Structure 1
Amino acid sequence: MNTIVYLIRHAESPYIAGMELERGLSLKGQQDAERVRLMLHNKKIDHFYSSPYARAILTIKPLAEECGQDILPLDDLRERIIGDIAGTGFYEAKRLVYQDFTFSFPEGESSETAQKRGIRIVEGLLKRHAGQCIAIGTHGDIMTLLLNRYDRQYGFEFWQSTSMPDIYKAEFNGLLLKRVTREWSEHS
């Protein structure tokens, strides 16, 4: 009996320093949240979970409302904090934390630590909702780290290739990842 997990990366959100938790969606992000709803509206999704960040919740909210479901925010699905990367460019900083999973910048979180907290949640959901369909509002790093736990091909290059929003369908048999397919299309 397969369990389906839709990992839905948040839509475009304007960067506002110090507002990580509260940042909403841009106008384009709001339109893309509607496109997420349209792309998945014919799927029977039994449960909705999300990062507690507003941009992740708002991206899946139209779909959850259409399905008549509440969204349960879970703190351990939050985005990884990269930390103080002074003197290092953003993409170089990301490359470094993917290159060495134990490395972290000051006040930041390593890939290993972020992956462990996310996997603990996802594996709990897989056990609790075996055979059902789950949607998770997430972030680029956490989505990449979750998939990486099951298949090492998901790393820095994958993270770099993802869009905002993005949708990946992960099919599990128990805790074993069987298949991953990209469901998002920029042209839909």
Structure 2
Amino acid sequence: MATNVYFVRHAHSTYTPDERKRPLSDRGYIDAKKVTELLADHPIEVIISSPYKRAFQTVEGLANRLGKEIKIVEEFKERTLSGEPVENFEAAIEKVWKEERFAFPGGESNLEAQAKGVRAFKQVLDEYAGKNIVIGTHGNIMVLIMKFFNPGFDVTFWKKLDMPDIYCLTFDNGKLAGHKRIWQRD
């Protein structure tokens, strides 16, 4: 039996230096309602989220609509790029994707972040095999997990993501059997 995982990249947020408490922006709340509408008719059985507020808020409306609790999984939080703010975010992202073992001081390399995310993701696949699962998460960690199963998911793919975005990945016996983008911006 297939397992469907709906990766939901969080909606637009209002910047604050506190990663955990950064809330959705006004636009983000509007888009989170669209996420709820898009997924409400899917037979969702499990909802999981990063502990970060913006990811949780993006899937919260869906959980409320379906009467589901949201399970928090720490490993689905965004990867730590650096211990201190980087001077040029785009250049920093390019560097860690190009040199997957490289880590800025206080940050995680792509390989470290991917290993952490994939471990948690495989546990989800095992625990909820055959179910339809929503995971509220973040762009970089989401694509790093996806890349583990298909190398075509790379930094170029990441750059094309919307905020929010939704991809449904179908797994058969732990192997990626297909993927489809669900989100379409108006």
1:43-62 equivalences in 2 (<5 Å) = 43-62=42-61
2:6 partner letter: Y
1:85-100 equivalences in 2 (<5 Å) = 86=86, 88-100=87-99
Matches of 1:77 and 1:85, distance apart in 2: 21
What is the match of residue 13 of structure 1? 13
What is the match of residue 144 of structure 2? 145
Matches of 1:3 and 1:93, distance apart in 2: 34
1:128 partner letter: E
Structure 1: gaps spanning 5 or more residues: none
**Paired residues of 1:170 and 1:177 also in contact (CA < 8 A):** yes
What is the match of residue 65 of structure 1? 64
Matches of 1:70 and 1:169, distance apart in 2: 20
Structure 1 segments (4+ residues) deviating >6 Å: none
Q: Identity over the aligned pairs, expressed in percent?
A: 37
Offset of residue 85 of structure 1 = 5.7
**Paired residues of 1:45 and 1:134 also in contact (CA < 8 A):** yes
What is the match of residue 36 of structure 1? 35
Offset of residue 74 of structure 1 = 1.0
Deviations 1:22-44 (A, max 9, x none): 01100100010000000111001
**Paired residues of 1:85 and 1:93 also in contact (CA < 8 A):** no
Matches of 1:103 and 1:15, distance apart in 2: 26
Offset of residue 72 of structure 1 = 0.9
TM-score in terms of structure 2 length = 0.97
Per the alignment, in what secondary structure is the counterpart of residue 153 of structure 1? coil
What is the match of residue 103 of structure 1? 102
**Paired residues of 1:171 and 1:177 also in contact (CA < 8 A):** yes
What is the match of residue 115 of structure 1? 114
Deviations 1:51-107 (A, max 9, x none): 100000000000111111000111111101110464x51111001111111111111
Matches of 2:170 and 2:131, distance apart in 1: 10
1:5 partner letter: V
What is the match of residue 3 of structure 1? 3
Offset of residue 15 of structure 1 = 1.2
Structure 2: gaps spanning 5 or more residues: none
Structure 1 vs Structure 2 CA RMSD:
0.9
1:134 partner letter: I
Matches of 1:85 and 1:101, distance apart in 2: 19
Matches of 1:178 and 1:115, distance apart in 2: 20
Deviations 1:91-134 (A, max 9, x none): 11001111111111111111111111111111111111111100
Matches of 2:4 and 2:30, distance apart in 1: 25
TM-score in terms of structure 1 length = 0.96
Count of matched residue positions in the alignment of Structure 1 and Structure 2: 185
**Paired residues of 1:127 and 1:174 also in contact (CA < 8 A):** no
Matches of 1:85 and 1:121, distance apart in 2: 27
Matches of 1:178 and 1:50, distance apart in 2: 23
Matches of 1:29 and 1:85, distance apart in 2: 23
**Paired residues of 1:85 and 1:105 also in contact (CA < 8 A):** no
